[in-house]
C-alpha cells in the first residue's frame, strides 16, 4: 500500500490532469480532506483472497449490435447546445498541443 | 387541498380506469400542490406545466380511445434530473449543465411516455448524484417534509421529498450507492434499486457506470411495483441491460406470502454507528416477519466492512472519467479564465470545470484521478475491484442459506441541513448499509420501519435479494408493509407533523 | 529553427543497427460506427453523421458493432495472430477537443488478437515481421484550425470541430521491434505497410485509402551500435500517411539519429511529426510530457468472448493470402518477376485476373491495363479500378483485335470511346466507324495511288528492299484514316511491285 498521505503538490498535479483550475484556497482545503479520505479508503488493502477482479457485476458477454446505420441527430440538433458554432462545426478555443 | 394528491398511484390507476377522474384533473392537483408547497420543499428543479398538461390530456385521449397501455396510463410522475428528457432541461444538479436541453429521451423516460405517465418535471439531487443530502445541488438543497430544517437524504432527495410531500404519487430515482434507498428511509417512503441491468441506463447521466441503476420512488410497495414494471426490461441501447423477461412485480405484491421464508439479518450492517431508534424499529420489523412465519437467522458478510472503502475508490474512479465530457466544448457552460487574453482550449476547460463543478464533485474527481493513476492503480482501484468480488462471494454464500437479507437502510434518521456538509467522511457513512448491493449488482428495497423514538423521524428497513430476484423484494416488502401499517393504524405519512401532512392519506 | 545535422544514410547504417517498429491504424469500412448506428461515409456535411453516443452527450451509452469485431478478428487471423478467448475494452483518459467523451474507448492490455507475423520480401531477402497485437478502438473527430498559418494548429486562434469521424472503428496493428534490416530498413518498413495494405484489401475490411486517412502509420525508429547491443532510445514519428513516406521517414530518422549519436548526443524519447512536403521530422511531445492515461476497464461495455466456432468459421473463410495468390497467378500467367511486380504495384492483379477470365490472353490483359489504361488513369488522377471500364470490356477490345476487326491503333480509340461512356467496344467500333478496311478493291486503289505518289520508294521495293514498303503502307494508312488492314496492304504492295 502506498503512503496514503497526499500532498498539496500532488493535488495540484491531479487537478491539472483532471482539468480543474483549483484556486489556492481550494488546494489548501482539499489536500488535507483528500488525505483523510485516502487514509480511510486504504483499508481495502487489508482485504485478502485469491479472487478475480470485478469491474462490472453484470453477468453478460458478447453484447453486439448489427452493422446497420440508423438516423442520429441532425447537424442542427447536434450543434444546438454548443457554446459557439462556426461553419456547421463546434467552435472551440485554440488547441495548444498535438493529439497525444 | 385536493383529495387526489393523497391517493396512491394504485388508487389513482383504479380511479382513472373507472372514469372517476381524469389524468388532467390529477395532474392539475399535483401542479397545484407543487405550487403551494415546493417553495418550502424545493423538490423540483424544473416543473413542465404546459408539457405535463398536454401529456395528461393525451393520456386521457388514449384512454378514451381504448388504449390500455398499462395501469399507470395518466398517472403523473416526477423524474430525477439525472435522466435526459428531450426538450426539458437536464442539469444533474450542476451549474456546468445549466441551460442544456437534451436532444433525446432516456430509455426510462421513453418508457414512461409510452406507458402514458405525464412527466411533471425534474427533481433536485446532489450534483451528479454525489451526496446523501441534496445539499450538493448547485441549485440549493431540498428539504425534508418531516422537518424542513433537515435533509431529505440524497442524492435523490428531490424525488423522495416530492413523493413525501404529496407533490407527485410517483418518481424515478437513481441509485449508485443508496441514492434511492437512503432518501426513502429518511422520508418514510419506498425506494427500490433493481438488479443491475434490470432497468436501462441509456440516458441516465452516468456517475459510476458499474453501480448506477434507476428505480422507483413511491409511497407504497405496491406503487413502486407498478412503476418497476413500467421501467424494467431489456434495452438494446444499453450493453449492460439484461436480456430477460421479468415477472410482474405488481403481481408479486398481490400474492405476497412469507410463510417459510428464510430471512438473514446481516451482522455487519448494524450495531455501532447506528442510531438507537433506527435499530429498535429494525428489530421490531424483524420480529413482525418472524411472527408472520419467516425463519430469521443472522448471517455474516465479513467483507462488507470493506464495502464503503471499495465504493469510494470505484465510484470516484469511474466518475472522474464519466465527468470528463463536461469540458465546455460541445454543450453546457463555457467559462473563460480571468485575465487571460485568447485562452487555450485547455485553459477554458479547466476554468469551466473549476467554475461549473461544486466541492464534492471536485473532491471525487480528484480522488478518482488519483486512484487510477499509474503507480496507484493496483493498490486502489485494483484492490477495490477485488473487494467487489469478495462482497459478491459474501452475498452468494449468504443466499445459499437465506432467501432475502435485511438491514437498516441508513444508520441515522434525517440529519440537519449543514450538519455534515463539509465533513465528507461523515457524509459517506450514510451509505454504509446500501453500498454492498450496488457493488454486487443485487436488488434492494427500502421501506419505512417506523419513527425513531428519540426524534420522531422516519427510519427505514432494507430488504436485499439475489440478482434477478427483484420479485422477492416486493413479496416480502408488501407483507411487511401490511403488518406495519396494521400496527400504525395506517400509512406512516399520516404521522407527518404540521402543514405538509395530508389528511386521510391512503398512500 | 536550427539546422538539423544528418549523417548520410549509407554511413548511418554502416555505423548503427536500426530497429524499427510500426503502429498502423486502419479505419474499417463498416457501414456504421464502432458503438452507434451513425454512418461512416467519407466526406459528408460536417456534424451530420452524429448521435448522442458518438457526440458523447450525457447519458449516452456504447453498443459494440459486431461487424467491427469480426473485421478485427479477420485481420488478426490473416496476420497469424491468436484470437483472445476473452477480452475487454478500456478507457484511455485524456482531454482533447476532438474527443467527445475525453476518453477514447480502446483496447488496452487485453487486445482481441496478439502474437502473429507477416512475411515481407525486399530485394530477394525475406523478413518475418512479428506482430505484437491488433486491437480495436474508435477514431476521433477532425479539427479545422482557423487563423494563423492555414490549417496549422500552431498560431491558430480557434478551431472548428466536426465529429463525423468520431467513433469510426479503427484497428491498431502493432509490430514487435523489427531487427536485422540494416540498410534495407526503409524498404522493409515500406514493404511491410504495403503488404499489410494488400492483406486488408484482400480481406475487404477497409478501403485502405491512405489519402483519405483510412490507413495511418506511426513509425518507431531507434539505433544501436551493434545488433547484439540493447535497444537504443526510440522516437515515434506520427502520421506518416503514404507508402513512400514510410520509407522516407525511416530513412530520415536513421540519418538524424545517427548524426545525434555520432556527436555524442542523446536521443530524446519523443513523438515526432512527419512533414510530407519537406521530408523531415520535427520534435513533438517528449516522454516527460506524456499523459497518464489512467486506463481502466470500460464499465459501459461487456467482455468479448468469441467462441471457438466463430473464430474457426472466420478462419475458414479467409481469402488466399496475397503473397500466395500472387505466386500462383504469376505462374499461371507466365509473367516475369518484374512484370508481376509492375502489375501488383499498379493495383491491377484483380483487374487482369478478371480480364483473362473474360477471354483475353494474360499478355494482352497486362498490355492494356499497364500501358494504355494506366496512362489514362494517371491523367485522370485516379486508380485503375476507378476507370469507367470493366475487365469484360477490355477483353472485348482484345477480342476485336484478335478477330482482325480493329488493329492496336484503332483499339486505343475504342478504349477512349468506352471510357467516354459510348458503350461496349463493338458498339464504339460501329458508332465511330473504326473497323479495318480489308476490301481489296478499296485497298488496291489506295495502294496504286501511294505507288504513283512515291515512285522512288516504289523502285526500292522493286529492287528487293522490302523494308521500304513501310513508307508506302504509311501513305496508304494516311489516305484511309488509319483504318486499313496493314497486313493486307503489305501483301498488295508486294504483289504489285514484285510480281
Q: pLDDT for C428-481, tens place per residue?
A: 998 888 888 777 778 888 888 888 888 888 888 888 888 888 888 888 888 888
List CB contacts (< 8 A) between B177 and chain A: none
Q: Do A98 and C305 touch (CB under 8 A)?
A: no
Confidence of residue A1 (pLDDT cuts 50, 70, 90): very low
Which residues does residue C413 pair with via DSSP β-bridges, in sequence order?
none
Is pLDDT larger for residue A99 or for residue C271? C271
Q: Which residue has the cell 423484494?
A: B473
Q: Which residues of B touch A10 (CB under 8 A)?
A: 370
> What element of type H or E holds B50?
helix B49-64
B-chain residues within 8 Å CB-CB of C69? none
Look up cell 502473429; give the residue.
Answer: C116
CA dist C37 → A67, A69, C31, C168 (Å): 7, 4, 8, 10
Can you tell me which residue has the cell 470511346? C417
CA triple B326-C48-C56, angle to 5 deg: 20
Q: Is B197–A43 a contact, with Cβ atoms under 8 angstroms apart?
A: no
Q: Assess whether pLDDT exceeds 50 at residue C368.
A: yes
User: Is there a contact between B34 and B41 (Cβ–Cβ < 8 Å)?
Assistant: no
Give C153's contacts in chain B (Cβ within 8 Å): none
* Residue B105 cell numbers, joined: 429521451
Q: Could you give the CA distance from residue C182 to residue C20 in angstroms, rounded to a whole number?
A: 10
pLDDT at C1: 47
From the candidates B94, B155, B200, B407, give the one annotated as an active-site residue: B155
- Which among C303, C138, C34, C91 has a CA at the least distance from the CA of A63? C303
Asked if residue B155 has a cis previous peptide bond (ω within 30° of 0), the answer is yes
d(CA C362, CA C352): 7
Q: Which residues of C are less than 8 Å from A63 in CB distance?
A: 63-64, 301-302
**B373 in contact with C, Cβ within 8 Å:** yes
| Angle at alpha carbon of residue C110, lines to C105 and C116, rounded to 5° | 115
Of the ranges B135-144, C328-337, C374-383, the best mean pLDDT one: B135-144
Q: Does A94 touch chain B (CB under 8 A)?
A: yes
Q: What pLDDT score was predicted for residue A81?
A: 95
Cell of B18: 373507472
Using the 8-state DSSP alphabet, how is residue B382 labeled?
I
Confidence of residue C59 (pLDDT cuts 50, 70, 90): very high
Which pLDDT score, from 0 to 100, does residue B500 have?
A: 64
Q: Show which of residues 75-104 on chain C sit within 8 Å of chain B, judged by CB atoms.
A: 91, 93, 95, 97, 100-103
Q: How near does any CA of chain B get to the CA of C207, in Å?
A: 28
Q: Which helix (H) or strand (E) holds C342?
A: helix C337-345
A18:B347 CB<8 A: no
Is A10 close to B342, i.e. CB distance below 8 A? Answer: no
Residues 6+ apart with CB under 8 A from B278: B408, B410, B411, B412, B413, B452, B459
Q: Which of B8, B80, B132, B449 is catalytic?
A: B80
Q: Report the alpha-carbon distance of residue C45 to residue C250 in Å, rounded.
A: 36
The answer to whether C146 faces chain B, any CB pair under 8 Å, is no
Helix axes B9-17, B221-231, angle to 10 degrees: 70
Task: Centre a 10 Å sphere on the Cβ of residue C338 and count the other Cβ atoms it contains.
Answer: 8
Phi, psi of C480 (to 5 degrees): -100, 15
Nearest-Cα residue of chain B relative to residue A50: B386
| Rounded Cα distance, B171 and B179, in Å | 13
Q: Is there a contact between B319 and B311 (Cβ–Cβ < 8 Å)?
A: no
Pull the grid cell for residue C139. 477514431
The yes-or-no answer on residue B113 being catalytic is: no
- Chain C residue numbers with beta carbons less than 8 Å from the beta carbon of A62 are 302-306
Q: What is the nearest CA distance from B287 to chain A, expressed in angstroms?
A: 33
Residue B232, helix vs strand vs coil? strand
C-beta atoms of A33 and B312 within 8 A = no
Distance from CA of A88 to the nearest CA of B (A): 12
Q: Quick check: helix, strand or coil at residue C39?
A: strand
Q: Each residue of B290-325: pLDDT tens digit?
A: 999 999 999 999 999 999 999 999 999 999 999 999
Mean pLDDT across the stretch C358-363? 94
State the virtual CA torsion across A43, A48, A52, A57 in degrees, nearest 10.
-50
Q: Does C56 touch chain B (CB under 8 A)?
A: yes
| Count of residues in chain B | 507
The C-alpha cell that represents C499 in the structure block: 510480281
Report how far apart the first and last C-alpha atoms of chain C are (Å, whole number): 82
Q: Among residues 54-93 of chain A, which lie with CB inside 8 Å of chain B? A: 54-60, 63, 65, 73, 77-78, 80-84, 90, 92-93
Kindly list the distances between the CA atom of residue C280 and the CA atoms of A49, C215, C277, C424, in Å, as whole numbers in the listed order. 55, 20, 8, 48
For chain A positions 19-78, those within 8 Å of chain C (CB to CB) are 19, 55-56, 58, 60-75, 78
Q: Are B331 and B89 in contact (CB under 8 A)?
A: no
Contacts of C301 in chain A (CB under 8 A): 63
| C-alpha cell read off for B322 | 464519466
CA–CA separation, A88 vs C256, rounded Å?
42
Q: Please name the residues in contact with B97: beta carbons below 8 A apart, sequence gap of 6 or more.
A: B90, B91, B326, B331, B332, B333, C58
Q: Judge whether C426 and C406 are in contact, CB under 8 Å.
A: no
Cα gap C193→C190, rounded to integer Å: 5
3-state secondary structure of C428: helix
Measured between beta carbons, which residues in chain B are less than 8 angstroms from residue A59? 467
Chain B residue with CA closest to A32: the answer is: B363
* CB B270, CB B405: distance < 8 Å: no
Cβ distance C55 to A56 less than 8 Å, yes or no, reads no
Element (H, E) at C266: none
pLDDT at B341: 87
Contact B240 A49 (CB under 8 A): no
Top residue of A90, A93, A97 to mutate, by most chain C CBs within 10 Å, is A90
Say how far apart CA B34 and CA B123 lie, in whole Å: 12
pLDDT in tens, B104-118: 999 999 999 999 999
Residues in B closer than 8 angstroms to A41, CB to CB, are 309-310, 312-313, 380, 384
Q: How far is A20 from chain C (nearest CA, A)?
A: 12
The reply to whether residue A30 touches residue B375, judged by beta carbons under 8 angstroms, is no
Q: Which of B137-151, C66-80, C484-498 has the lowest mean pLDDT?
A: C484-498
Residue with cell 530518422: C253
What pLDDT, on a 0 to 100 scale, did the predictor assign at position B466?
A: 98
Q: Which residues of C touch A95 (CB under 8 A)?
A: 96-97, 143, 145, 153, 156, 159
- Kindly report, residue by residue over B408-432, the tens digit of the pLDDT: 999 999 999 999 988 999 999 999 9
- Nearest to B120, CA basis, from B152, B155, B180, B163: B163
Residue B135 vs residues B141, B153, B165, B323: alpha-carbon distances, Å = 4, 9, 18, 19
Sign, CA dihedral A26-A30-A32-A33, equals positive
Which residue of C59, C91, C296 is in closest CB contact with B205?
A: C59
Contact flag B386-A51 (C-beta cutoff 8 Å)? yes
Comparing alpha-carbon positions, the chain B residue that sits nearest to A91 is B329
Q: Is A15 on the interface with B (CB under 8 A)?
A: yes
Residue C489: band (very low, low, confident or very high) from pLDDT cuts 50, 70, 90 = confident
Which chain C residues are Cβ-neighbours of A65 within 8 angstroms?
37, 63-66
pLDDT at B499 (0 to 100): 59
Question: What are the tens digits of pLDDT across the range C299-339?
Answer: 999 999 999 999 999 999 999 887 788 889 999 999 998 89
Task: Provide the mean pLDDT of chain B.
Answer: 96
For the ranges A46-55, C124-133, C295-304, C364-373, the maximum mean pLDDT occurs at C295-304
CA distance C112 to chain A (A): 13
Answer whether 0.90 is exceeded by the pTM: no
**CA–CA distance, C425 with C432 (Å, rounded to integer):** 10
Asked about B248 being catalytic, the answer comes back as no
What's residue C393's pLDDT? Answer: 95
CA distance C55 to C141: 9
Cell numbers given for B415: 440529519
Q: At what angle do helices C391-402 and C408-419 cross, to 10 degrees?
A: 150
Pick the residue of B202, B370, B379 with the most A CBs within 10 A to test the interface with A by mutation: B370
- Grid coordinates 483485335 are at which residue? C401
pLDDT computed for residue B373 by the predictor: 94
Task: Using CB atoms within 10 Å of the CB of residue C315, give its burial: 0 to 12 exposed, 13 to 18 middle, 19+ buried.
Answer: middle
Tell me the residues of chain A between 32 and 51 that have a Cβ less than 8 Å away from chain B: 33-34, 36-38, 40-47, 49, 51
Torsion of CA B92, B93, B95, B100, to 10 degrees: 40
Give long-range contacts, CB 8 A cutoff, 24+ apart: B344-349: B344/A93, B344/A94, B344/A95, B344/A96, B345/A92, B345/A93, B345/A94, B345/A95, B345/A96, B345/C97, B345/C159, B346/A19, B346/A95, B346/A96, B346/A97, B346/C95, B347/A21, B347/A93, B348/A92, B348/A93, B349/A19, B349/C95
Nearest Cα neighbor of B220 from B10, B406, B27, B442 is B10
> What does the pLDDT read at residue B504?
47
Collapsing DSSP states into helix, strand and coil, what is residue C162?
A: strand
Distance, CA of B152 to CA of B141 (rounded, Å):
9
So what's the pLDDT on residue C287?
64
Q: Which residue of B has its CA nearest to A78?
A: B103
**How confident is the model at residue B69, as a pLDDT?**
85
CB contact under 8 A, C56 and B325: yes
Cross-chain CB nearest to A67 (options C47, C66, C86): C66
List the single residue in A54, A59, A97 with the smallest CB-CB distance to B388.
A54
Kindly give the residue spans of alpha helices, DSSP state H, lying in C346-485. 349-357, 362-367, 374-380, 391-402, 408-419, 425-432, 440-453, 455-462, 469-479
Annotated catalytic residue B499 = no
The grid coordinates listed for B443 are: 436488488
- What percent of chain B has pLDDT above 90? 93
Amino acid at each position: 500500500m502506498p503512503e496514503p498521505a497526499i500532498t498539496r503538490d500532488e493535488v495540484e498535479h491531479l487537478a491539472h490532469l483532471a482539468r480543474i483550475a483549483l484556486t489556492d484556497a481550494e488546494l489548501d482545503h482539499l489536500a488535507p480532506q483528500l488525505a483523510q479520505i485516502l487514509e480511510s479508503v486504504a483499508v481495502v488493502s487489508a482485504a485478502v483472497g485469491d479472487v478475480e477482479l470485478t469491474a462490472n457485476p453484470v453477468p453478460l458477454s458478447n453484447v453486439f449490435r448489427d452493422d446497420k446505420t440508423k438516423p442520429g441527430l441532425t447537424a442542427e440538433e447536434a450543434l444546438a447546445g454548443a457554446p459557439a458554432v462556426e461553419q456547421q462545426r463546434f467552435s472551440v478555443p485554440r488547441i495548444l498541443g498535438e493529439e497525444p | 387541498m385536493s383529495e387526489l394528491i393523497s391517493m396512491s398511484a394504485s388508487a389513482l390507476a383504479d380511479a382513472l380506469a373507472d372514469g372517476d377522474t381524469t389524468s388532467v384533473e390529477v395532474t392539475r392537483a399535483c401542479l397545484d400542490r407543487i405550487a403551494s408547497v415546493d417553495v418550502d420543499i424545493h423538490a423540483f428543479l424544473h416543473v413542465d406545466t404546459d408539457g405535463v398538461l398536454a401529456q395528461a390530456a393525451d393520456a386521457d385521449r388514449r384512454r378514451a380511445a381504448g388504449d390500455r397501455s398499462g395501469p399507470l396510463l395518466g398517472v403523473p410522475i416526477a423524474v430525477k434530473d439525472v435522466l435526459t428528457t428531450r426538450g426539458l432541461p437536464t442539469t444533474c444538479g450542476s451549474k456546468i449543465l445549466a441551460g442544456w436541453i437534451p436532444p433525446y429521451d432516456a430509455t426510462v423516460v421513453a418508457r414512461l411516455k409510452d406507458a402514458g405517465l405525464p412527466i411533471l418535471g425534474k427533481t433536485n439531487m446532489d450534483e451528479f448524484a454525489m451526496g446523501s443530502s441534496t445539499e450538493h445541488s448547485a441549485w440549493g438543497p431540498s428539504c425534508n417534509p418531516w422537518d424542513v430544517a433537515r435533509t431529505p437524504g440524497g442524492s435523490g432527495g428531490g424525488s423522495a421529498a416530492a413523493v413525501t410531500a404529496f407533490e407527485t404519487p410517483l418518481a424515478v430515482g437513481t441509485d449508485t450507492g443508496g441514492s434511492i434507498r437512503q432518501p426513502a428511509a429518511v422520508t418514510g417512503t419506498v425506494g427500490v434499486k433493481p438488479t443491475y441491468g434490470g432497468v436501462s441506463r441509456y440516458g441516465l447521466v452516468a456517475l459510476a457506470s458499474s453501480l448506477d441503476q434507476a428505480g422507483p420512488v413511491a409511497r407504497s410497495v405496491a406503487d413502486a411495483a407498478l412503476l418497476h414494471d413500467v421501467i424494467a426490461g431489456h434495452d438494446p441501447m444499453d450493453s449492460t441491460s439484461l436480456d430477460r423477461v421479468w415477472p410482474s412485480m405488481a403481481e408479486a405484491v398481490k400474492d405476497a406470502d412469507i410463510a417459510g421464508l428464510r430471512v438473514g439479518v446481516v451482522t455487519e450492517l448494524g450495531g455501532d454507528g447506528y442510531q438507537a431508534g433506527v435499530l429498535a424499529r429494525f428489530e421490531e420489523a424483524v420480529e413482525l416477519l418472524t411472527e408472520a412465519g419467516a425463519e430469521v437467522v443472522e448471517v455474516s458478510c465479513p467483507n462488507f466492512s470493506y464495502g464503503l472503502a471499495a465504493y469510494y475508490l470505484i465510484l470516484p474512479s469511474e466518475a472522474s472519467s464519466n465527468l470528463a465530457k463536461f469540458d465546455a466544448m460541445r454543450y453546457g457552460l463555457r467559462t473563460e479564465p480571468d485575465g487571460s487574453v485568447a485562452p487555450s482550449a485547455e485553459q477554458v476547460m479547466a476554468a469551466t470545470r473549476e467554475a461549473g463543478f461544486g466541492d464534492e464533485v471536485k473532491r471525487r474527481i480528484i480522488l478518482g484521478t488519483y486512484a487510477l493513476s499509474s503507480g496507484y492503480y493496483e493498490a486502489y482501484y485494483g484492490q477495490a475491484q477485488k473487494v467487489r468480488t469478495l462482497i459478491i462471494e459474501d452475498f452468494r454464500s449468504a443466499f445459499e442459506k437465506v432467501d432475502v437479507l435485511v438491514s437498516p437502510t441508513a444508520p441515522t434518521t434525517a440529519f440537519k441541513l449543514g450538519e455534515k456538509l463539509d465533513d465528507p467522511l461523515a457524509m459517506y457513512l450514510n451509505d454504509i448499509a446500501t453500498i454492498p448491493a450496488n457493488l454486487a449488482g443485487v436488488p434492494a428495497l427500502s421501506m419505512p420501519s417506523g419513527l425513531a423514538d428519540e426524534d420522531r423521524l422516519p427510519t427505514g428497513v432494507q430488504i436485499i435479494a439475489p440478482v434477478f430476484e427483484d420479485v422477492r423484494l416486493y413479496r416480502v416488502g408488501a407483507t411487511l408493509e401490511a403488518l406495519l401499517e396494521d400496527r400504525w393504524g395506517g400509512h406512516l405519512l399520516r404521522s407527518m407533523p404540521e402543514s405538509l401532512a395530508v389528511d386521510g392519506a391512503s398512500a | 529553427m536550427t539546422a538539423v545535422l544528418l549523417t548520410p544514410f549509407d554511413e548511418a547504417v554502416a555505423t548503427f543497427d536500426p530497429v524499427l517498429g510500426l503502429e498502423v491504424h486502419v479505419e474499417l469500412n463498416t457501414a456504421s460506427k464502432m458503438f452507434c448506428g451513425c454512418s461512416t461515409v467519407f466526406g459528408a456535411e460536417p456534424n451530420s453523421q452524429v448521435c448522442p453516443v458518438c457526440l458523447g452527450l450525457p447519458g449516452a451509452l456504447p453498443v459494440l458493432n459486431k461487424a467491427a469485431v469480426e473485421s478485427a478478428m479477420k485481420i488478426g487471423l490473416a496476420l497469424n495472430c491468436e484470437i483472445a478467448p476473452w477480452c475487454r475494452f478500456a478507457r484511455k483518459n485524456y482531454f482533447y477537443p476532438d474527443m467527445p467523451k475525453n476518453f477514447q474507448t480502446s483496447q488496452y492490455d487485453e487486445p482481441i488478437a496478439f502474437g502473429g507475423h507477416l512475411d515481407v520480401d525486399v530485394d530477394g531477402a525475406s523478413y518475418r515481421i512479428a506482430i505484437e497485437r491488433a486491437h480495436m478502438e474508435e477514431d476521433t473527430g477532425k479539427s479545422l484550425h482557423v487563423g494563423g498559418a492555414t490549417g496549422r494548429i500552431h498560431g491558430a486562434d480557434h478551431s472548428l470541430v466536426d465529429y463525423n469521424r468520431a467513433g469510426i472503428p479503427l484497428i491498431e496493428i502493432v509490430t514487435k521491434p523489427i531487427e536485422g534490416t540494416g540498410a534495407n530498413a526503409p524498404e522493409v518498413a515500406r514493404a511491410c505497410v504495403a503488404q499489410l495494405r494488400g492483406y486488408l484489401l484482400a480481406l475487404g475490411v477497409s478501403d485502405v485509402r491512405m489519402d483519405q486517412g483510412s490507413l495511418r502509420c506511426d513509425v518507431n525508429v531507434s539505433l544501436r551500435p551493434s545488433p547484439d547491443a540493447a535497444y537504443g532510445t526510440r522516437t515515434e514519428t506520427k502520421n506518416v500517411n503514404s507508402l513512400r513516406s514510410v520509407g522516407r521517414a525511416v530513412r530520415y530518422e536513421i540519418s538524424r539519429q545517427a548524426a545525434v549519436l555520432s556527436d555524442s548526443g542523446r536521443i530524446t524519447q519523443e513523438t515526432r511529426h512527419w512533414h510530407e512536403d519537406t521530408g523531415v521530422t520535427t520534435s513533438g511531445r517528449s516522454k516527460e510530457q506524456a499523459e497518464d492515461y489512467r486506463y481502466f476497464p470500460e464499465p459501459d461495455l461487456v467482455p468479448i468472448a468469441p467462441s471457438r466456432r466463430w473464430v474457426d468459421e472466420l478462419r475458414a473463410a479467409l481469402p488466399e493470402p496475397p503473397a500466395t495468390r500472387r505466386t500462383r497467378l504469376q505462374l499461371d500467367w507466365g509473367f516475369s518477376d518484374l512484370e508481376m511486380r509492375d502489375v501488383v504495384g499498379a493495383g491491377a492483379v484483380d483487374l487482369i485476373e478478371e480480364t483473362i477470365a473474360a477471354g483475353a490472353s494474360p499478355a494482352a490483359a497486362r498490355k492494356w491495363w499497364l500501358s494504355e489504361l494506366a496512362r489514362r488513369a494517371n491523367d485522370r488522377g485516379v486508380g485503375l479500378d476507378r476507370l469507367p471500364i470493366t475487365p469484360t470490356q477490355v477483353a472485348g477490345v482484345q477480342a476485336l483485335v484478335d478477330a482482325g476487326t480493329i488493329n492496336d491503333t484503332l483499339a486505343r480509340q475504342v478504349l477512349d470511346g468506352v471510357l467516354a461512356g459510348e458503350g461496349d467496344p463493338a458498339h464504339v467500333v460501329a458508332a465511330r466507324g473504326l473497323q479495318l478496311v480489308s476490301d481489296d478493291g478499296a485497298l488496291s486503289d489506295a495502294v496504286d495511288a501511294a505507288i504513283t505518289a512515291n515512285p522512288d520508294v516504289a523502285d526500292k521495293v522493286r529492287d528487293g528492299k522490302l523494308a521500304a514498303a513501310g513508307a508506302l503502307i504509311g501513305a496508304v494508312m494516311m489516305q484511309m484514316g488509319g483504318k486499313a488492314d496493314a497486313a493486307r496492304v503489305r501483301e498488295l504492295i508486294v504483289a504489285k511491285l514484285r510480281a
